[in-house]
Chains A and B, each alone.
Chain A
Amino acid sequence: MSLFHRHRGLTPYLLLAPGVLFLAVFFVVPLGFLGYQSLQSGNIDFGYAFTWSWGNYWTAIQDYRAQFIRSLEYAGIATLLALVVSYPVAYWIAFRGGRWKNLLLLFIVAPFFVTYLIRTLAWETILSDNGFVVNTLQSLHLLGPSGRLLATSTAVVTGITYNFLPFMALPLYVSLEQIDARLIEAAEDLYASKLHAFLRVTLPLSLPGVVAGTLLTFIPAAGDFINAQLLGSPDNHMIGNVIQSKFLELTDYPAAAAMSFILMAGILVAVFLYARAVGTEQLTGSAA
């Protein structure tokens, strides 16, 4: 007991230690190494040397600006689509799901027991040139007779939206589910219309879920390359495809590392601007 008292000051640090150690070993150290690698020059034949080669960054931005912008653009659109699709679903489950809530949530998550790759390949079949979707769009004249969906940006964005949907839907559900229904009742009692109650009560209270969902969707989506690889043409390739090819095909590790850093910086800036716009308290969910 006295030992505990004497060392009580240490307790929080001891409790934090495993987490901090984990982050140090698996995040900070590799990140440091990545930074070190991004300033190297050389090639696989003669080896790499650390030369403060900042040119890697400059070349990456110059040569692959289009892919960087495309990545943020596709990820942004996919995030927005995922939000539009998920919000009504999450809302309905949270307020109307009743005793079926858990089952309905399972339906959202169920497809994700299948591996990422197979799910993406399934979209190849769904959007196939001779498939149901293309035929329907053609008969409605929304798509020309020789038009197609596969190997277009539509297919890539659709794939990303689908693959990251649960990351949006689940946080939304959690924040909507926590809303005290009496607050909405009270709003209506005070003569707010249904729409008004939603806009002034429900939506603001669900904002922490919206913020968490958009971040969880946008960040991994911006670095994704499988969807662009399988569903897109070279015109739709994202920065992830370039990094993958630099890393594995060209063994140009410094260029790949520099691009990873630039992508990370780009995402950080986007998230920062977003946080400024929405208000930081939403990020931590302390608004409610």
Chain B
Amino acid sequence: MNDHLTRKQLIERAALGGAAITFPGLLAACGGSSTKAGGGSTTVEHKLAKTLNFSNWTLYMDVNKKKHTFPSLIEFEKKYGVHVNYTEDINDNASFFGKIQGQLSRGQSVNRDIIVLTDNDRYLALTIKKGWAEKLDKSAIPNMKNLVDVQKHPNFDENRDYSLPWQSGMTGIAYNDTITDPVLSIDELLESPKLKGKITCLNSMGDALTIVMLANGDDPTAVTDKSFNAAFNRIKKAADSNQIRQFTGNDYAPILARGDLAAAMSWSGDIAQIGNDHIHWNVPTDGGALWTDNMLIPKGGDVYTASFYMNYVYDPKVQGLMEAGDPKRDITGIYYIPPVAGAGEFAKKSDPSVANNTLIFPTKKMLDSVKIFDSKALNNQKYLEQWQNLISG
């Protein structure tokens, strides 16, 4: 059939046709039709849209488990007449970015007004840098004043022009006390012969390297080739000697609870949600990692409505209830670390036990010992390749 085409023509045509059918394009196409984003949309219309399309991670919203509803969203709908189309379709940053990047790179809308990406992965910074995020309408977010100080000037978005934290979490060590004595340091986790083949390491480079660098006495907020290599080689050694059994996302949690693992590099919220008395989570003795999920408005999203919703969740009263839930009304909270100052006071009122849980409202000592990974190192292709080669064999 291609006798009549030159090779160049064939490739050009294939590329034209293929552009519409790339793998990420196909995946994204399942999400809905692709309408044009309509250029840069610099002028913001101060009118609420009928629907807010919000994509978030699973188990990341206050929920009434009996009625299978999200109380804070229902409240928002009732109050402002905006229907929230809430989808839990983000499982990891890379795959979600893979789904949306094809359309965004062609200037098409992904039919979402808010998405949530994590600062311990490269894609948040990349989305902003590529110009694929809309500027927030700060005039619609007076409650932004409640943003906790530590989150005000991250290096991927110095003035919070494009992003606002949704929730934060910590990376540390979890252990199962039916299998092992307390495991509190990276030294024990990676080198104790008793734990050989009984531990997992997180596959997120930022998380794993932060806590190993701290154990090495290096600074994870300003990574150098030397500190990278030291931490990388230490993990590689543990993997090569079969100390580390697997590299995992949050799928380590059920394996740990079942007792196949003695200990694991672990995210605080996973353990708070498991609620198993035998699983304990700690910030490692040399310090842990802090990461934050951030709300973004992808190009073509409704800026005013999205900003308006962000303002709603930045009300400490709303945030407090979202965080702690309300046992009297069968509402389970989010159980991660809220970025809104004053939320703790309101959380105490609805569920004092949650407000006293240090996994959710960490002590100052805990917060002082957790660090945020260098975002430049997250985008270092050489580091990323080395890391991926380690974890994918």
Residues of A near any B CB (own CB < 8 A): 25-26, 29-30, 32-37, 43-45, 50, 63, 66-67, 124-125, 128-130, 146, 148, 150-151, 230, 232-237, 241-242, 244-252
Which of A35, A45, A63, A244 meets B126, CB within 8 Å? A45
- Can you list 17 A-B contacts with CB-CB less than 8 angstroms, sorted by A residue number? A29-B21, A32-B15, A32-B17, A33-B15, A44-B126, A45-B126, A67-B393, A148-B197, A151-B246, A234-B390, A237-B392, A237-B393, A244-B392, A249-B388, A250-B388, A251-B98, A252-B385
Chain B positions within 8 Å of A130 at CB level: 258-260
A32 touches B258 (CB 8 A): no
Question: Closest CB of chain B to A100's CB: distance in Å?
Answer: 37
Min CB distance B178 to A, Å, is: 10
| Number of B interface residues in the complex (CB < 8 A) | 39
Cβ of B255 within 8 Å of any chain A Cβ, yes or no, is yes
A29 x B18 contact (CB < 8 A): yes
Among residues 252 to 269 in chain B, which have CB atoms less than 8 Å away from a CB atom of chain A? 255, 258-260
Q: Which residues of A contact B10 (CB under 8 A)?
A: 32
Starting from the known contacts A66-B393, A125-B258, 20 additional A-B residue pairs (CB-CB under 8 Å) come to A25-B17, A29-B17, A32-B11, A32-B18, A33-B14, A33-B22, A37-B18, A44-B126, A45-B129, A50-B11, A67-B393, A128-B260, A151-B245, A233-B245, A234-B393, A236-B393, A237-B392, A242-B392, A245-B388, A248-B94
Minimal Cβ-Cβ distance residue in A for B245: A151
Determine whether the beta carbon of B259 is less than 8 Å from that of A241.
Answer: no
Chain B 297-333 per-residue mask, 1 if CB under 8 angstroms from chain A, else 0 = 0000000000000000000000000000000000000
A30/B260 in contact, CB under 8 A: no
Evaluate whether A129 and B260 lie within 8 angstroms (CB atoms) in the complex, with A33-B21, A45-B379, A247-B98 already known: yes
Q: Does B233 contact A (CB under 8 A)?
A: no
Complex: A25 Cα to B390 Cα, angstroms? 37
**Interface digits, B349-393 against A, CB 8 Å rule (1 contact, 0 not)?**
000000000000000000000000000000101001100111111
Bound form: Cα–Cα A124–B258 in Å? 10
Secondary structure dominating the interface of B: helix
Instruction: Kindly state the separation between the CA atoms of A124 and B255 in the bound complex, as whole angstroms.
Output: 8
Main secondary structure of the interface of A (DSSP, over half): helix
Report if A32-B392 is in contact (Cβ < 8 Å); known contacts: A44-B126, A129-B260. no
Taking Cβ atoms with an 8 Å cutoff, the residues of B that contact A are 10-11, 13-15, 17-19, 21-23, 94-95, 97-98, 101, 126, 129, 197, 239, 242, 245-247, 251, 255, 258-260, 379, 381, 384-385, 388-393
Give chain B residues whose Cβ lies under 8 Å from the Cβ of A148: 197
What distance in Å separates the Cβ of A226 from its nearest Cβ neighbour in chain B?
12
- Cβ-defined contact, A248 with B392, below 8 A: no
In the complex formed, the residue of A with least CB distance to B11 is: A36
- Knowing A33-B19, A33-B22 are in contact, say whether A248-B95 is a contact too (CB < 8 A): yes
| Assembled-state Cα–Cα distance A43/B15 (Å) | 18
